């Protein structure tokens, strides 16, 4: 498996523009051999809680059709961040497109207190990826919740992928936690973080990969859009920027 985390900049609330930018990053990732590509939290709209009600869509919305077409034609799995409508409210979700399969969703279960006025805890249809179902997904705050990584570990995860929007003020704490997860659970840990501005703060970038001792393998900078591609068999890493 060649697992890619994408570092992307969102245009506030501009779904079409953000989709086009995703497609550029997907092309870059595929050109470097990626077969699974994970984007930051709410990457399609930007992380904008106060706008979530207006920006939320359904999982089968036609605006996402391009991703399924790319998945089918290029034989690649794509996970994009979307505010999704649910019966109980709006969820912070990752819609997953897999070749020849129906769309699935990984929904954020554990919300930060600041998100409670705008979002509800979500129900996922999928939580693990890979032929061995050993790649666990997490969305931002969940990486700070011990029960989340513990559940992933008990389910057999050997890789933990966090899709996030971490600010310049919060990135150091997140990086320390991701390293800790790698060491404590002997997992390889990947972070897909955003760059640019979201919800009035500056996103910190620094998407990275930590090995199963907690050591940093590779990391992007604080401002560039780009990718990290990790080969789970050879453990080689490819880095590229737009």
Mean per-residue pLDDT, 44-59:
97
Would you state the pLDDT for residue 106? Answer: 98
Token pair of 23 as six digits:
């497609």
Would you state the pLDDT for residue 101? Answer: 97
Would you state the pLDDT for residue 123? Answer: 95
Number of domains in the chain: 1
Mean per-residue pLDDT, 26-39:
98
Per-residue pLDDT of 166-182, as tens digits, reads 999 999 999 999 999 99
Would you state the pLDDT for residue 4? Answer: 98
Helix (H, G, I), strand (E, B) or coil at 173: helix
Would you state the pLDDT for residue 117? Answer: 98
Is the backbone of residue 92 left (phi > 0), alpha (psi -120 to 50) or beta?
beta
- Residue 119's nearest CA partner among 10, 41, 205 is 41
Would you state the pLDDT for residue 100? Answer: 97
Measured between alpha carbons, how far is 214 from 52 in angstroms, rounded to an integer?
A: 35
Cβ contact 208:190 at 8 Å: yes
Question: Given pLDDT bands bounded at 50, 70 and 90, which one contains residue 48?
Answer: very high
Question: Given pLDDT bands bounded at 50, 70 and 90, which one contains residue 155?
Answer: very high
Per-residue pLDDT of 94-137, as tens digits, reads 999 999 999 999 999 999 999 999 999 999 999 999 999 999 99
- Mean pLDDT score of the chain: 97
Would you state the pLDDT for residue 32? Answer: 98
- Residue 139's nearest CA partner among 57, 43, 237 is 43
- DSSP designation for 214: S
The CA distances from residue 66 to 55, 80, 125, 192, in Å, are: 18, 12, 21, 21
**What domain range is 189 assigned to?**
2-241
Domain of 49: which CATH number? 3.60.110.10
Whether the model clears a pTM of 0.85, i.e. scores above it, the answer is: yes
Would you state the pLDDT for residue 61? Answer: 97
Per-residue pLDDT of 78-100, as tens digits, reads 999 999 999 999 999 999 999 99
Cβ contact 96:79 at 8 Å: yes
Query: Which positions ≥6 away from 125 have C-beta within 8 Å?
Result: 104, 105, 106
Per-residue pLDDT of 188-236, as tens digits, reads 999 999 999 999 999 999 999 999 999 999 999 999 999 999 999 999 9
Helices (H) and strands (E) in the chain, counts: 5, 15
Mapping DSSP onto H, E and C, the string for 11-72 reads: CCCCHHHHHHHHHHHHHHHHHCCCCEEECCCCCCCCCCHHHHHHHCECCCCHHHHHHHHHHH
């Amino acid at each position: 498996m060649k697992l890619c985390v994408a570092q992307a900049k969102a245009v506030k609330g501009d779904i079409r523009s953000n989709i086009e930018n995703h497609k550029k990053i997907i092309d870059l990732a595929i050109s470097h051999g990626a077969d699974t590509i994970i984007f930051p939290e709410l990457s399609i709209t930007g992380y904008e809680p106060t706008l979530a009600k207006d920006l939320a869509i359904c999982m089968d919305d036609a605006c996402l059709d391009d991703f399924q077409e790319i998945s089918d034609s290029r034989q690649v799995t794509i996970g994009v961040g979307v505010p999704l409508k649910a019966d109980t409210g709006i969820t912070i979700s990752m819609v997953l497109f897999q070749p020849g399969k129906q769309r699935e969703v990984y929904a954020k279960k554990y919300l930060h207190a600041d998100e409670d006025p705008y979002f509800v805890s979500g129900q996922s249809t999928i939580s693990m990826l890979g032929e061995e179902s050993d790649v666990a997904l997490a969305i931002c705050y969940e990486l700070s919740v011990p029960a989340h990584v513990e559940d992933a570990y008990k389910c057999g995860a050997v890789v933990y992928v966090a899709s996030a929007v971490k600010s310049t003020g919060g990135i150091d704490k997140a990086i320390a936690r991701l390293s800790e997860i790698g060491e404590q659970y002997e997992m390889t840990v990947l972070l897909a973080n955003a760059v640019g501005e979201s919800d009035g703060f500056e996103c910190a970038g620094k998407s990275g990969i930590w090995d199963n001792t907690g050591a940093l393998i590779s990391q992007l900078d604080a401002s560039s859009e780009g990718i990290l591609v990790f080969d789970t068999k050879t453990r080689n890493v490819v880095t590229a920027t737009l």
